[in-house]
């Protein structure tokens, strides 16, 4: 288990290092996760305990939202002042995402010549 944590933390550290080196706006843990994906895609052996450790972390994922919730509560005055703008931005981004998804789906269906009423075997 300790070896698995070391692997995950080293990948996160590598991600943080890359972010600081290239000045990327992405968070270091996201880059670290991408590095883990590359590692797994390259089929480089990874200890079995890493799988078990990651499952253990995922089982307690809800605990990781506590610091984010505390941060929101600490910023309630700002949220109260800018809340409508934030809500508007969220709703517009949801609408744009749904529209982009629908357009992409329609384009792929047209490319694959799938009729909406047709059932595929």
* Structural domain range at position 1: 1-59
- In terms of residues, how long is the chain? 121
**Do residue 86 and residue 54 come from a single domain?**
no
Q: Residue 120: what pLDDT? A: 55
Residue range 28-80, pLDDT digits in tens: 888 888 988 888 888 877 777 888 888 888 888 888 788 888 888 888 888 88
Question: Given a cut of 80, is residue 8 above it in pLDDT?
Answer: yes
Query: By the 8 A CB rule, do 35 and 63 touch?
Result: no
Domain boundary among 36, 59, 82: 59
Residue range 103-114, pLDDT digits in tens: 999 999 888 887
**Do residue 53 and residue 82 come from a single domain?**
no
Query: By the 8 A CB rule, do 34 and 15 touch?
Result: yes
């Amino acid at each position: 288990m300790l070896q698995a944590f070391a692997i995950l933390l080293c990948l996160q550290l590598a991600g943080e290092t890359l972010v600081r080196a290239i000045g990327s706006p992405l968070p270091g843990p996201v880059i670290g996760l991408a590095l883990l994906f590359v590692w797994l895609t390259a089929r480089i052996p990874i200890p079995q305990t890493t799988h078990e450790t990651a499952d253990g972390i995922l089982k307690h994922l809800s605990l990781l939202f506590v610091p984010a919730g505390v941060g929101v509560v600490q910023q309630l005055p700002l949220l109260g002042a800018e809340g409508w703008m934030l809500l508007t931005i969220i709703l517009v981004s949801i609408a744009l995402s749904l529209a982009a998804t629908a357009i992409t789906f329609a384009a792929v269906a047209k490319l694959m010549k799938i009729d909406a009423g047709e059932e595929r075997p």
